[in-house]
Structure 1
Amino acid sequence: MKRMNLTQKWLLVILVWKFSLASSAAISYDEGSSCGYKSCNPVKDGFVNVHIVAHSHDDVGWLKTVDQYYYGSNSDNQKAGVQYIIDSVVDSLLRDSSRRFIYVETAFLWKWWLDQNDKMRAQFKQLIENGQLEIISGGWSMNDEAVTHYQSIIDQFTWGMRKLNETFGKCARPKVGWQIDPFGHSREMAFIFSQLGFDGVFLNRIDYQDQDKRRSSSSLEMIWKSSGSLENNSDIFTSVLYNHYSPPPGFCFDILCNDDPIIDNPESPDYNVERKVNSFLQYVETMKTNYRTNNLLITMGNDFNYQDADVWFKNLDKLIKYANQRQNDSSKYNLLYSTPSCYLNAVHDESSKKKLTWPVKTDDFFPYASDDHSYWTGYFTSRPTIKRFEREGNNFLQVCKQLYALAGLGSEEEDNLNSLREAMGVLQHHDAITGTEKQHVAADYARLLNRGFNQCSTATKTALNKLANNDTNNSSTAVEYQQCQFNISECTVSENENSFVVTIYNPLSRPVNNYVRLPVLHDNYEVHDPEGKKIATETISLPKAILNIPGRDSKATQEILFLAENLPPLGFKTYYVSKTEGVVSNKTHQEFQANPNKNSNGDVEVTKGDIGLTYNEETGLLTGIKMNGEYIPITQKFLLYRGFIGNNGNSANRSSGAYIFRPNDSNVYTVSEKATIETYLGSLIVEIRQTFSDWISQTIRLYCSENFVEFDWIVGPIPTDGGNGKEIITRYTTTLKTNSTFYTDSNGKEILKRVRNFRPTWDLNVFENASGNYYPVTSKISIRDETNGLEVAVLTDRPEGGSSLSDGEIELMIHRNCFADDSFGVGEALNEYAYGKGLVVRGSHYFSSGSFLKLTGDQTLASQQKDIAQRKLLRAWTFLAPTDGLSFKEYKEKHVLQYEGLVKALPKNVQILTLEPWIDQSFLLRLEHVFEVNEDPHWSSNQIVDLNDIFTSFEITSIEETTLGANQLLKENERLYFTRETNECRFDWKNANKIYDATKKLKIELMPMQIRTFIIDIKKK
């Protein structure tokens, strides 16, 4: 090694120092680097350019836990170690500047980065800056697209991109999406990519019939119009990979593969260059007929490949060398190391020169089927408790971030917040929230999320004490805020304290009412609001099914119920609860106060406020619901499909499993034709409790002043008799004439029309009637009778699979067990146990109905359902704390009992999607318009939000608009433009978003469904 002179040494020191520091700027820039499209290896005009993309698909948990995958342990399950992949790739790239590699999962990359010394960090940064190592997508994980909510998707991209931006700067800013393994693709995900400022997205798993049609019509690449509301602001070029994300047959050169290497020694008896090159060029010749340009993308990698990267790169070097030598013999193919973004840029350049136009897609890619009998619709419901836990995680993460910002917490609490940010990022992975992981991995996901909850609870406790403490100089007044397990009605504070306080925080941008339920041991309690006013309460005995939930460690047999009214936006109210002396009679749930009314059919009528229902006294089953002035006959039952068990040897023998929903036959079996029934009629609530069997029960609730009917069900343990797994559904059957049509949400945002046994883009052959018509329901499914103007909607508390298999019906799958693996990789049956018994699931559906034609003003059916969806996604969060014996008066002297984070509520059609601490004491602020175009006659209009003096604890001193991921100023984002085949409005990304003059005055205009992202500097008040 040559000795360095003094100048060289100092330059090296400065270089290492520069690379090892994280940028403190919100948006970082690296001038003079050669990354981006200018770093692409050049293509050759007049040739078919074959873009060799070296990659490794690294699941953030699946067969092994996140840590096991990173460190390479638990090799019996899978030989995979991500730390070795990145180490090895870096070493191989440093050997040859023409080589390229892409990396996706920021969760693993960040874990690796923290382990590196300064020298390795400098080398890694240099590879990014010269374009050899390209970061793709940039999320914390490669998220699922069916059962994830758009708020959580945006969060996990934001966190991943922030780490990339802070650490590596502009050159690590992703330009394309890489969603190669999720099991189907959503339109909302495409919209998110467009708003991230990406030039395109690459997909893999689309329906096999759709893929055949697209191959034959050379339409594997298209322009995806990803929003029905922001049409001219939602286009994104979309490319479907040709061969999964695998290499061509015979060309897997990883140490995990068995294909022969390229042997180029003519003296060797195993010399195979001619045969290998011939085979490869024949493959690309066939592939060329499926695409429209003279550019082809070949993926060279697979799951956890490149643990010994030189094995790959040495063979790829040879393949490129010897294939390109054929150009001397008139070969039309040119091979080059490339990346998806470089490929996309080449397609764009050729498209512009030749004035190519591209087909347009407006729907999504659900459901996904890989063959006649393999519909990947079971995972819409698999592991329902993890799905609910993740939804609660999103709720609490927003609460934690908001309180952190409003209280102005310092950096000492940042790790507590980041723990939940990162856990939620992991949970979005396409083998996490989907329920398609091994059981021990599911337990580890729950561990990570539980740890995130606990650490963020520390931050929220600090924030609440800062906001609620009247005497900030006296630490003895600090309150020990705690949280309870309301899903099993268990709470240490409410069960053991004679007096306690209940602080309820509202994360929405408008006032809400919220019913509070607290498990208690006794009958007699008084509740006082922040002004000391005694408010109405009821004490209700808990259903037996709740008392018997496995793992419940509580002596509480009752709940107290009260209504917390007018909770302030981004604020809280504290209620004082105390036991009272004497005996207060508690209404039992066996009787009504008065004889119930009966209708002409002899059904029992029960009402609460403006909502009523009828049920059959003999069967105990629902017969109708009256809401919004319309009575709709309806029955609701619990049924099951029996899962098919086969040997998975071919399509006809596919088993129902973690991924696949496949009934054993066309029958659906009723759990019980009758339900035993108990009723409770109170001043605040009506409860009708149904027991269908020893493993299914339900409480139907009508709340005073609420605009929905709640169906609170408990299912499990699922019986294991009969030799088949069971797919448990609840079905709502009405008399609506729906013409084979129903509607489901896309990741909790826009609504998509579904038609039974139909796909908009090809002539469908359905071989599985039930599973072939199932769609992901992240938050809502509905049916409409267009003739009579009636609509029925069911909103969910977690993702579920759903459909309308007959007119007038809505069905949702709420629990499932499978006795066989479906042979798509997870390697074990989905049959969950907890506390030594089959898994018990408690969940809720929220029923809404009425006329979508008659309701007007700001109380349309659409606005009612939007209200329900918002309040159930971001519930008012309940904190409890002992009073340490203080009376109400004494407690109020020491604490603020009401806090408002906003000076004024935002309009009903606008929500603060994000308020969180950002970088250098700045905040990240997102505003969203929550209505679609034409969804509501009043609220589906542009809305201006004035941010001047809107927050109570700080004022905004400067504001800059960014792309959705907050990693680039919006005014600096340039996207590649592709032309649609149709003569529709021209795509205009920049002008559709730029309203910079308005931001200078802090007046922000929002179009329907628009999300705008800002980094704001603030001054505390």
Structure 2
Amino acid sequence: MFYCGLYFILLFGIVFMPIDARVYRKPLEDNGKIPICGYQSCPKIDPKKLNVHLVAHTHDDVGWLKTVDQYFYGSRTNIQNAGVEYIIDSVIQALKRNPARKFIYVETAFLWKWWQRQDENTREDVRLLINEGRLEIIGGAWSMNDEATTHYNSIVDQFTWGFRLLNDTFGECARPKIGWQIDPFGHSREQASLFAQFGFDGMFLGRLDHEDKAQRLINKTTEFIWKSSSSLGKKADLFSVVLFNTYSPPPGFCFDILCSDEPMIDDPESPDNNIDVKIKIFYDYLEQQSQHYQTNNIILTMGNDFTYQQAEMHLMNLDKVIRYTNELYGSQVNVFYSTPSCYVKSVNDAQISLNTKSDDFFPYSSDPHAFWTGYFTSRPALKLFERMGNNLLQIVKQLSVSSNIMDSEDLIQFREAMGVMQHHDAVTGTEKQHVADDYARLLHKSMVKGENIAAKAIGKKMIEKNNTVKVIPKLESCFLLNTSSCIISETEKAFMTVIYNPTSQLLSKYIRVPVTGNDYIVKNSVGDKIITQLVPIPEAILQLPGRVSEATRELVFHAVNIPALGYETFYISDTTSEESMKNKIILPSRASSIANKSYNITVNSNGDVVIKSKKHDVNIVQSFQYYEGTKGNNTGWTNRASGAYIFRPKESIVHNLAFTGNYKIFQGPLVDEIHLTINQFVSQIVRLYFGEDKIEFEWLIGPIPIEDSIGREVVTKYSSNLSSDRTFYTDSNAREMLKRVRDYRPTWNVTLKEKIAGNYYPVTAKIYLEDKIKQLRLSVLNDRAQGGTSMIDGQLELMLHRRLLNDDAFGVGEALNEKAFGKGLVVRGTHYLIASDLNDITSAELLEKSLTVQLALRPWIFFSAIPNISFNQLPNLYQLQTSSLRKKLPPQVHILTYEPWKDGKVLLRLEHLFEVGQAGALSAPVEVDITDLFNDFNIVSLRETTLGANQWIESMSRLEWHSRDNNDENNEVNNQTEQVKIEGNTINVLLKPMEIRTFVLTISKRT
């Protein structure tokens, strides 16, 4: 809805006004009339007939079998005949030829790439088609994101960027109203919640468990209200539709050049005239589909992957389908071109009562032996790389604001690269290898440019209060810290590390820097010499394929109280002498265990890590095993192979790894470590840091051997003496937690032919189980998306790495057999293990939430060589510590977004981290005074938008729905959002549990 009024609120004598109306303009047609789009452009429904909404669409993967560019330009036809620029060109011309035609488009990444290459005449054609509602933008994100392995921060980002370009380019008529998630391999509850918060009126699902779908078709529950958040209540409810035929047309009615179905031949003189026969088949199909939906409306998806490269050919045949069906069966049916939003509006107008759903659609199985749970872990290195990309992107955006470096082309490209990575064949690991390589190339290129922005921004801040220093310090990142490599720390005798904290709270973090020397001094920003420890780098890491480094040890120090949205500088000097080099080798301890105030840890004869909690009655054994992947030939359900998509172990048992290695213990003032080698391809470091109540497992897997022609899927298990009653919990896109029960689905009686794969769920950030009798919890936090389960009470299992030798026949055409540097891929990653007391749930949840945030938004370390500068000179040269925040935020409040917006403005998102009842007092609503929250600027005015920042919050008007559960009156939690309260000299923002509030700030820089 367009907001045409002004509101004025006096604060400090400043008038608060809406931001530039051009941002949310409604473009006018040449005749000056308001365009007719959206629901106003929908075809008329006949209440006495079956109304058939034909939706012409194309599903254009942003990379899959071909790279993004190969898909756009249409190259590599030997792989797939697909060219997106031809599709959009062709569709625009075909729509112009017949004003009755409609078409929808989804992927903004491709639309924008095409748009930038068009002349003004073509652009005017597109604007007119959008304003008339004949070309409707659905979804609107940069890509159609996966829902299992994506982090909500990245989902919100990539929708926001797609929305912004659509809004700025086409105005209100291009604002999406519908979620179009037709191809992701299962659907998350958090995705539905985000869609509702975007202001969407509904979403369409293509893939759900075959048993679930069959039951819904029988019971006519293919349309329902998804209650996607018990914390947000009705404002997160979303009307949802299960498509009848995934997203394909009826059999026999694909008229694309990629199809072989017979065209509609209506020449009365031709012996090939097939109108009567084809239309009868079509009519029978309509009757069949209509039996499974509640109203006299059905939707037909007339398109498929990369269809409409010759749109006139396709649409001409659809014209005939519409014409002749209405002529021959017009007394019973009304067939017309439509859009998903028009279909939603028609169902809404019918005022029916709908069933509800409050869980999610994982795991997805397309047949009894094909559970799409392997991709939860596939390509684990790429999954971590994507998470690192989001980590750095948030830092770049934050520092761009704080240093007044507003939108740059490099930042835009970084946003877009991360948008590509969210695609359901990117972060999922379900693409061809050369496409995965291209995704990594795109992301690396953008991260390097983004890192340059961040380094310059910090450098600028370091000298902004020093009038005598004009040269910005040269800061660099070490992108190979995951291989314990960093050129500066290995080669320089003196250097400084500037550690940036992207979280909203003070952060204390143990920092590890790869070095070659034997003696180091570390000083913090005020000159205090801090405690350090040197720990050897394990042999398995020293021998990593492709590693080029002289570092043999890591320097550990504790960076305490790094400011929120700020940095702290540490001075490091190598004081190694000839005498100390004689003692270069760090000898392991003779101790048989490591311990701190919370845990005692040993290794048993099997190579398992044995953990005894000192605080609670819980014993834990951590171990590694593997499943042997089924080699099937995919000729039938029972012959399905384990592959990039599918997890299908050969047997319902896990294979133990023979312990052929050894372990060493290293102890010191900061950290005790067990360096454990299981065998030639599995090893890990188990750490207890001083003063921390968690156990860190840093695992290293690979190269997984295949010489015996066995594909292996390596897992780690945390087995305890807790009784969990078949129940465990996993996160939804790193946000709300969902209850899982082994061998059970909340909405139907499941039959599992694949016991293990059918109990696997996506774990984006956290998995835990609880013992209700002992009031204890066991939690594992992970650093990237993985598949996880609890197959035995008291046990948590996470899949770490997969190397398989057969394709699973769902389109990729390649086995998941990743290599790097000529060898099988080696992956390094982190788990945090925590045992908590449920009687102190506030402390437990706060610790776990803090660590979850820190794993997603890790402190970023910048290095700078300073060979001729002593520490005493640094404070005179640089500002060694600063923060963008003037005051501390409550612990349950997180700044999700802090980024440059349009016209010098800032986009700010504040979120409440906890669910209703999750964390005691921390789950209560909280009010935040943001008047003087930021050091970087004064807030001149602010205005709230929807979550996607493409509509004013007060203009959002969603369709109302009726559910059958009669709990609507009890579902009003958080339904009414309080306005920003401006009283006297304060601006207070109220955040309710799980609420995210988005603001556009007009600012003035502080002097």
TM-score with structure 1 setting the length:
0.94
> Would you say 1:866 and 2:849 are equivalent positions?
yes
Distance 2:468 2:226 in 1: 58
The one-letter code sitting in structure 1 at the alignment partner of 2:358 is: T
> Would you say 1:572 and 2:557 are equivalent positions?
no
Following superposition, the deviation at residue 624 of structure 1 comes to 1.9
**Closer, same or farther in 2 for the Cα pair 1:473/1:335, shift >3 Å?**
farther
Query: The residue matched to 1:630 in structure 2 has which SS?
Result: coil
Match of 2:146 in 1: 144
Q: Is the 8 A contact 1:695 1:718 kept in 2?
A: yes
2:595 to 599, 607, 618: 607
Match of 2:754 in 1: 768
Following superposition, the deviation at residue 162 of structure 1 comes to 0.5
Q: What are structure 2's unaligned runs of at least 5 residues?
A: 1-19, 29-33
Distance 1:229 1:344 in 2: 26
Match of 1:16 in 2: none
Matches within 5 A, 1:258-407: 258-327=260-329, 331-351=331-351, 356-407=352-403
Match of 1:90 in 2: 92
Q: Is the 8 A contact 2:103 2:339 kept in 1?
A: yes
Query: The residue matched to 2:186 in structure 1 has which SS?
Result: coil
Following superposition, the deviation at residue 995 of structure 1 comes to 2.0
Q: C-alpha offsets along residues 441-469 of structure 1, whole Å, 9 cap, x if unaligned?
A: 00000000001101111211221122111
Q: C-alpha offsets along residues 664-712 of structure 1, whole Å, 9 cap, x if unaligned?
A: 1122101125651100010000001111001110100000122210000
Match of 1:880 in 2: 863
1:955 to 938, 963, 970: 938
Following superposition, the deviation at residue 432 of structure 1 comes to 0.2
Following superposition, the deviation at residue 581 of structure 1 comes to 4.9
Query: The residue matched to 1:312 in structure 2 has which SS?
Result: helix
Match of 1:205 in 2: 207
Query: The residue matched to 2:851 in structure 1 has which SS?
Result: helix
> Would you say 1:824 and 2:810 are equivalent positions?
yes
> Would you say 1:842 and 2:828 are equivalent positions?
yes
Give the paired residue count: 977
> Would you say 1:431 and 2:425 are equivalent positions?
yes
Q: Is the 8 A contact 2:406 2:900 kept in 1?
A: no
Q: Is the 8 A contact 1:501 1:882 kept in 2?
A: yes
Distance 2:398 2:666 in 1: 38
> Would you say 1:1013 and 2:995 are equivalent positions?
no
Distance 1:56 1:474 in 2: 57
The one-letter code sitting in structure 2 at the alignment partner of 1:1011 is: I
Following superposition, the deviation at residue 615 of structure 1 comes to 1.6
**Closer, same or farther in 2 for the Cα pair 1:994/1:581, shift >3 Å?**
closer
1:121 to 120, 123, 134: 123
Distance 1:390 1:760 in 2: 32
Q: What are structure 1's unaligned runs of at least 5 residues?
A: 1-22, 597-603
Query: The residue matched to 1:889 in structure 2 has which SS?
Result: helix
Q: C-alpha offsets along residues 916-958 of structure 1, whole Å, 9 cap, x if unaligned?
A: 0000000000000001111111201000010011101111111
Query: The residue matched to 2:200 in structure 1 has which SS?
Result: coil
Query: The residue matched to 1:79 in structure 2 has which SS?
Result: coil
Distance 1:862 1:258 in 2: 57
Following superposition, the deviation at residue 29 of structure 1 comes to 2.7
Query: The residue matched to 1:805 in structure 2 has which SS?
Result: coil
**Closer, same or farther in 2 for the Cα pair 1:869/1:981, shift >3 Å?**
same
Worse-matched range after superposition: 470-479 or 975-984: 470-479
Match of 1:516 in 2: 511
Query: The residue matched to 1:534 in structure 2 has which SS?
Result: coil
**Closer, same or farther in 2 for the Cα pair 1:947/1:587, shift >3 Å?**
farther
Distance 1:450 1:114 in 2: 24
Match of 2:742 in 1: 756
The one-letter code sitting in structure 2 at the alignment partner of 1:645 is: K
Match of 2:25 in 1: 28
> Would you say 1:560 and 2:565 are equivalent positions?
no
Distance 2:416 2:626 in 1: 37
Following superposition, the deviation at residue 723 of structure 1 comes to 2.3
Q: Is the 8 A contact 1:147 1:777 kept in 2?
A: yes
The one-letter code sitting in structure 2 at the alignment partner of 1:964 is: L
Matches within 5 A, 1:479-490: 479-490=474-485
Match of 2:438 in 1: 444
Query: The residue matched to 2:968 in structure 1 has which SS?
Result: coil
Q: C-alpha offsets along residues 538-570 of structure 1, whole Å, 9 cap, x if unaligned?
A: 111110011011111111111111010000111
Worse-matched range after superposition: 478-487 or 783-792: 478-487
Query: The residue matched to 1:526 in structure 2 has which SS?
Result: strand
Match of 2:223 in 1: 221
Match of 2:414 in 1: 420
2:799 to 813, 817, 841: 813
2:133 to 131, 151, 157: 131
Distance 1:152 1:819 in 2: 32
1:967 to 919, 943, 950: 950
Following superposition, the deviation at residue 885 of structure 1 comes to 1.4
Query: The residue matched to 2:684 in structure 1 has which SS?
Result: strand
Match of 1:20 in 2: none
Worse-matched range after superposition: 581-590 or 766-775: 581-590
Following superposition, the deviation at residue 618 of structure 1 comes to 4.1
Match of 1:532 in 2: 527
Q: Is the 8 A contact 1:537 1:562 kept in 2?
A: yes
> Would you say 1:852 and 2:842 are equivalent positions?
no
Distance 1:821 1:618 in 2: 37
Identical-residue share of aligned pairs (%): 47
**Closer, same or farther in 2 for the Cα pair 1:77/1:986, shift >3 Å?**
farther
> Would you say 1:802 and 2:788 are equivalent positions?
yes
Q: Is the 8 A contact 1:233 1:987 kept in 2?
A: no
> Would you say 1:944 and 2:927 are equivalent positions?
yes
Query: The residue matched to 2:172 in structure 1 has which SS?
Result: helix
The one-letter code sitting in structure 1 at the alignment partner of 2:863 is: L
Worse-matched range after superposition: 549-558 or 440-449: 549-558
Q: Is the 8 A contact 1:971 1:990 kept in 2?
A: no
Following superposition, the deviation at residue 722 of structure 1 comes to 3.1
Distance 2:873 2:124 in 1: 59
Query: The residue matched to 1:952 in structure 2 has which SS?
Result: coil
Following superposition, the deviation at residue 649 of structure 1 comes to 1.1
Following superposition, the deviation at residue 996 of structure 1 comes to 2.1
TM-score with structure 2 setting the length:
0.95
Distance 1:477 1:281 in 2: 72
Q: Is the 8 A contact 1:225 1:234 kept in 2?
A: yes
**Closer, same or farther in 2 for the Cα pair 1:973/1:944, shift >3 Å?**
same
**Closer, same or farther in 2 for the Cα pair 1:999/1:174, shift >3 Å?**
farther
Q: Is the 8 A contact 1:471 1:477 kept in 2?
A: no
Q: C-alpha offsets along residues 497-529 of structure 1, whole Å, 9 cap, x if unaligned?
A: 111110001111110101111111111111111
Following superposition, the deviation at residue 96 of structure 1 comes to 1.1
Q: C-alpha offsets along residues 946-997 of structure 1, whole Å, 9 cap, x if unaligned?
A: 0011101111111111110000001001101110101112499999344225
Query: The residue matched to 1:239 in structure 2 has which SS?
Result: strand
The one-letter code sitting in structure 2 at the alignment partner of 1:357 is: S
Q: C-alpha offsets along residues 789-833 of structure 1, whole Å, 9 cap, x if unaligned?
A: 111000000000000011111111000011111000001100000
Following superposition, the deviation at residue 24 of structure 1 comes to 8.3
Query: The residue matched to 2:140 in structure 1 has which SS?
Result: coil
Distance 1:901 1:243 in 2: 51
Match of 1:667 in 2: 653
Q: Is the 8 A contact 1:638 1:672 kept in 2?
A: no
Query: The residue matched to 2:239 in structure 1 has which SS?
Result: strand
Q: Is the 8 A contact 1:589 1:679 kept in 2?
A: no
User: Over aligned residue pairs, what C-alpha RMSD do you find?
Assistant: 1.6
**Closer, same or farther in 2 for the Cα pair 1:588/1:699, shift >3 Å?**
farther
Q: C-alpha offsets along residues 560-596 of structure 1, whole Å, 9 cap, x if unaligned?
A: 110100001111001111111544587966433xx64
